[in-house]
């Protein structure tokens, strides 16, 4: 059994695994009870399992726990709380930018990473960046998600 030190949502913790290739997603769900990143495809194709690793989006279903040792991870739960949502979460809420929310980790965290690197990004720039991510949303809330991301990029939430 190997132990991997990481910081998850601001808390230093250890993840344990028999195999260093164990997908990070499994440990986030099983050991930390984080349910924001979801198992969608298991192949890194849909983005439902997205987390940020040192500020960069990764697909946790295909990322080995050994590959994130020592990193700072942020899941959708780490953005804000129900009582005090992060401005990005508030923008998604105000725009009703999700239906089931299953895919939400992907567009929200890819969007956050892009906007953090490109403050004030326009809707067209955000759309182009997200277009390269191959995120899959089955309820087809893309226009509302894009609008919420654009509001966040402009410093607005509604």
Any idea where the domains of the chain sit in the sequence? Answer: 2-77, 87-153
* CATH superfamily of the 87-153 domain: [2Fe-2S]-binding domain (1.10.150.120)
pLDDT tens-digit series, residues 49-73 = 999 999 999 999 999 999 999 999 9
Tell me the C-alpha distance between 84 and 140, whole Å: 27
The alpha carbon dihedral of 33, 37, 42, 44 has a sign of: negative
Options 3.40.140.10, 3.40.50.300, 3.10.20.310, 3.10.20.30; CATH of 2-77: 3.10.20.30
Q: How would residue 140 be classed by pLDDT, with cut points 50, 70 and 90?
A: confident
Q: From 84, 67, 86, 90, select the one nearest 75 (Cα to Cα).
A: 86
- Could you give phi then psi for residue 58, rounded to 5 degrees? -135, 155
What pTM does this model have? Answer: 0.94
pLDDT of residue 81: 92
Q: How would residue 138 be classed by pLDDT, with cut points 50, 70 and 90?
A: confident
């Amino acid at each position: 059994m190997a132990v991997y030190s990481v910081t998850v949502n601001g808390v230093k913790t250890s993840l344990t695994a028999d195999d260093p290739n164990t997908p990070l997603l499994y440990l986030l769900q099983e050991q930390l009870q984080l349910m924001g990143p979801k198992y969608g495809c298991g192949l890194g194709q849909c983005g439902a399992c997205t987390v940020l690793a040192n500020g960069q989006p990764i697909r946790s279903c295909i990322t080995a726990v050994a590959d994130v040792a020592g990193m700072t991870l942020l899941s959708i739960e780490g953005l804000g709380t129900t009582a005090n949502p992060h401005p990005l979460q508030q923008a998604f809420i105000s725009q009703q930018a999700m239906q089931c929310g299953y895919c939400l980790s992907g567009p929200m965290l890819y969007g956050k990473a892009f906007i953090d690197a490109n403050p004030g990004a326009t809707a067209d720039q955000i759309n182009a960046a997200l277009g390269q991510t191959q995120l899959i949303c089955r309820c087809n809330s893309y226009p509302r998600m894009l609008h919420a991301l654009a509001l966040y990029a402009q410093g607005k939430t509604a």
